Structure 1
Amino acid sequence: MNKLFLAKNLPSYFKATLIASILSVSASSAQADETCTSPYAPKITGQEDFVYIWTLGVEGLGDEQDKLVTADVNPKSPNYGKVINSVSVGGRNEAHHSDFTDDRKFLWAGGLDTNKIFVFDVYSDPAKPKLTKVITDFVSKSGGVVGPHSLYALPGRMLITGLSNNKDHGGRTALVEYNNAGEYIATYWLPTDSNLQGAIKSGNYADGYNYDVRALPRHNLLLTSSFTGWSNYMMDFGKMLTDPEAMKRFGNTVVQWDLHSHQPKKVFDVPGAPLEIRCALADKHDYCFTSTALTSKIWLINTDSKGEWQAQAVADIGDPSKIPLPVDISISSDDKTLWVNTFMDGKTRAFDISDPLHPKQFFEQKIGAQVNMVSSSWDGKRLYYTSSLLANWDKKGADNEQFFKAYHWDGKQLTQQFAIDFTKEKLGRAHQMRFGAYALYDKKNKS
């Protein structure tokens, strides 16, 4: 029975999900951006033209505002390696993560402190995004969710992970759903010991914490990870490390959800603050990875012999006793390599994940005094890095390097192509990246 036949005979939401999955696979050859992009969005498999960098404003630097910075990254462009556009959004909101709607015409970007969500038009002129909408009632509409973090495209919808709540500013929080027009739809609270929301608690924890979200549509699987609440992520990093009570306020769970109903099904123990989730892309690869910031481990989420989803630690990242603080991870499009950044030592590491049960590190390189995000091109030949973790967690003094760097990867070594000093350019703290390309919208390269 083929997918198109099934699509005609499924309920409406299932039908939309399956059709979007089919379209995302069969879209133009200008498909896909960084490999963690939602499976419902078209992707850039060729050369990306731009990288959009969601950037934190710094007091006393430039206009001091958060901004979306556009860098030209096409080697054929006369502006290659330069900032070609910047859109300030007003104030400092703790700019953090961003992502596209399922048609990739709009980029949603969140502020962890003010709870504002900024919507940029990247379709009309991909080289010059325009701020078209600001959602200011996220907390009230969601029923008290604070800290919009991951923004993840579903068909016609945007699923947003919260990091906190407005009652105690702790880690208990929810998933929040909007439509592409920016209208609130629903809130789905994370399961806790006192209210499992119908989920099964498989270990010791059901903390209700949240961080990232990723889907495997062919398995009706949605996964969320966990981090910490507003009272921690807005605290000075050094002060937090010496506060015993603060160090107790970190998530230890990954939650399995029903993708279509958004019903939580099972809570897994993943101690040590699991952050980014990255899922395999090949049809026969039924697994996802996450990494734990505090215990420095790679975890695998896969099915056991009974077809049940489980979570298990499969590798160490550096020397866990030194707490290198793994942050962003990126999976290659062939499911063979997992890139892992560690903030404290400023390094990027490559793991061979051909055998997902036994990842093996085969490469590492220092990118800077600190490093946070990593984004890989679809062909795996280009890697981009940014520096900032959180305004109050970034290093101090000379180690507070703020940059956007581009590298070429030949399978054995990284070669830097260019670097933009965000402090020197008075832009701020470079955080998260998303790719842009004229070809996505059948627009001619104007550069």
Structure 2
Amino acid sequence: MTITDPTFYRSPAEAIAAPREQLAYVVTFDRAGVLPDALAVVDVDENSAAYGTVVGWADLPTTGNELHHFGWNACSSALMHEGHDMGEDGLQRRFLLLPGLRSSRIHVYDTQPDPRSPRLHKTVEAKELAERAGYSRPHTLHCGPDGVFLTCLGGADGNDGPGGIALLDHTTFDVLRAWETDRGPQYLAYDAWWHLNQNTLISSEWGTPSMIEDGLVPELLLGQEYGHRLHFWDLAEGRNLQTVDLGPQHQMTLELRPSHDPEATWGYVGVVVSTADLSASVWRWHREGTEWQVDEIITIPAEPADPADLPPALQPFGAVPPLVTDIDLSVDDQMLYVSCWGTGELKQFDVSDPASPHEVGSAHLGGIVRRAAHPAAPSERLAGGPQMVEVSRDGRRIYVTNSLYGAWDDQFYPDGVGAWMAKIDTDPAAGGLDIDQRFFPHGEDFRGRRAHQVRLQGGDASSDSYCYR
């Protein structure tokens, strides 16, 4: 009898109905590159005596990696590919791949047999990524039907590009090749995700290594040289089919969140900042006939501020930009979460009508000026803000962490960004955000490292793509 990993869900509805997560995995990093970066394990079982505390920890064997985005070796999309061994010892959601954005290494951790004690399984060196795929600075990964798609910001050996996607084997973790066969006008890279049943991959743009590694470069921003386009590709062939320019003022098209409905042909992308007025925005892509269109559907304005309260980079503007650095879409495609790292706000939008969102919830933590406290520590002015956001499969719990990227943290929070993680509860039908007072790992809970991204045991809203309704 074939035994399939029970966390490979055939449909969004099956994922929503599955048992809730008990653990969260969090990548942490040392900005100075002296301490090793680490994978932390946090207890998220509300009935546990250890709820809201770090219960597992794995130091990397190397330093200077700057862990950033990470993910599973395999997930629900594997059900689309008939060639997998799905037996008891076959393909499973078992390994977490941890790319180092500065080192270009990829550390692979095994979460079995004890999910609280991940063990180093393999290290993929920068040389292998460069020689086999021609890339460096690995950023985001998604588990696909027949491999791991790893987006990379730089060309071989850290040169400025083009960036693109490396394909890795999701059992051996060998780097196989560059995924693209015809990149067309694409040069900058950031995220990539897909509509599996439409054979379409979408990719977004940030900047090359030299544009990001020492912080935001004002001259490049005002010169509108960061990414502002989306690219649509033939997923099977790795061929660029269409490029849509959002307009050069819309700088940094980052996180992609396609609809989870496998038959739908729409999704969302967040834009960090407009050079016209410091606003941030969310755009919706959708297919009209054979062409893809992208429309702005949410605009979040900057907030006026006393220049004395601002970091040097923002003082000339007298305002705090929202800086939308992450978005996340609930598995039922009903709620969109938008993290405003600059103003320290998580916004919740009802997107039951995908083209006409309306705001139904808001929560404040941190912020460049506001410094909103967590209810568990009301006297502590928080730095950073909701940055990476992850939603549970059932849509009831939202987890946020506060660090963006080391050099950018230092620019916008020059007095220190700290380290914290929060959990926010919601009603997935009606909306509304309630910060959990019992859940606040922060400070030395992360042993002197900054907290960046969360992955949930059994999958989450940004881990999986589904093949069936």
After TM superposition, the score normalised by the length of structure 2 is: 0.76
Q: How does 1:168-179 map to 2 (within 5 A)?
A: 169-170=159-160, 172-179=162-169
CA drift at 1:283:
4.2
What's the secondary structure of 2:407's corresponding residue? coil
Task: Give 1:235's match in structure 2, choosing from 211, 214, 224.
Answer: 214
What is aligned with 2:294? 311
What is aligned with 2:228? 252
1:208 aligns with 2:197: no
Query: Residue 180 of structure 2 contacts residue 239 of structure 2 at CA under 8 Å; is this kept in 1?
Result: no
Amino acid at match of 1:278: R
Q: How does 1:14-413 map to 2 (within 5 A)?
A: 24-25=9-10, 31=15, 45-59=18-32, 64-89=35-60, 90-102=62-74, 103-136=92-125, 137-166=127-156, 169-170=159-160, 172-180=162-170, 181-189=172-180, 197=182, 199=184, 206-237=185-216, 240-241=217-218, 243-244=219-220, 248-270=224-246, 271-295=250-274, 296-304=280-288, 306-319=289-302, 322-368=320-366, 369-371=383-385, 372-394=387-409, 395-396=412-413, 398=415, 400-410=417-427, 411-413=431-433
Query: Residue 137 of structure 2 contacts residue 152 of structure 2 at CA under 8 Å; is this kept in 1?
Result: yes
What's the secondary structure of 1:218's corresponding residue? helix
What is aligned with 2:435? 415
- Superposed CA offset, 1:231-253 (max 9, x none): 1221134xx23x34785441121
What is aligned with 1:426? 447
Does the C-alpha gap of structure 1 residues 381 and 28 become closer, same or farther in structure 2, counting only changes over 3 Å? closer
CA drift at 1:123:
2.8
Does the C-alpha gap of structure 1 residues 265 and 207 become closer, same or farther in structure 2, counting only changes over 3 Å? closer
After TM superposition, the score normalised by the length of structure 1 is: 0.80
What's the secondary structure of 2:117's corresponding residue? coil
**180-189 or 166-175, which deviates more:** 166-175
**288-297 or 406-415, which deviates more:** 406-415
CA drift at 1:115:
0.1
Instruction: Determine the C-alpha separation between the residues in 1 that align with 2:403 and 2:150.
Output: 21
CA drift at 1:154:
1.4
Does the C-alpha gap of structure 1 residues 26 and 123 become closer, same or farther in structure 2, counting only changes over 3 Å? farther
Task: Give 1:435's match in structure 2, choosing from 456, 459, 463.
Answer: 456
| Structure 2: segments with no counterpart, 5+ residues | 75-91, 275-279, 304-318, 367-382, 460-469
Amino acid at match of 1:299: W
What is aligned with 2:369? none
What's the secondary structure of 1:393's corresponding residue? helix
What's the secondary structure of 2:47's corresponding residue? coil
Pairwise CA RMSD of aligned residues? 2.8
CA drift at 1:335:
1.3
CA drift at 1:286:
2.1
**Sequence identity percentage:** 24
What is aligned with 1:14? none
Does the C-alpha gap of structure 1 residues 246 and 171 become closer, same or farther in structure 2, counting only changes over 3 Å? farther
Query: Residue 133 of structure 2 contacts residue 175 of structure 2 at CA under 8 Å; is this kept in 1?
Result: no
Does the C-alpha gap of structure 1 residues 114 and 234 become closer, same or farther in structure 2, counting only changes over 3 Å? same
What's the secondary structure of 2:179's corresponding residue? strand
- Superposed CA offset, 1:167-220 (max 9, x none): 774353111101121112221359xxxxxx375xxxxxx351111111111111
What's the secondary structure of 2:404's corresponding residue? coil
**414-423 or 379-388, which deviates more:** 414-423
Query: Residue 56 of structure 1 contacts residue 94 of structure 1 at CA under 8 Å; is this kept in 2?
Result: yes
Instruction: Determine the C-alpha separation between the residues in 2 that align with 1:177 and 1:315.
Output: 33
CA drift at 1:346:
1.4
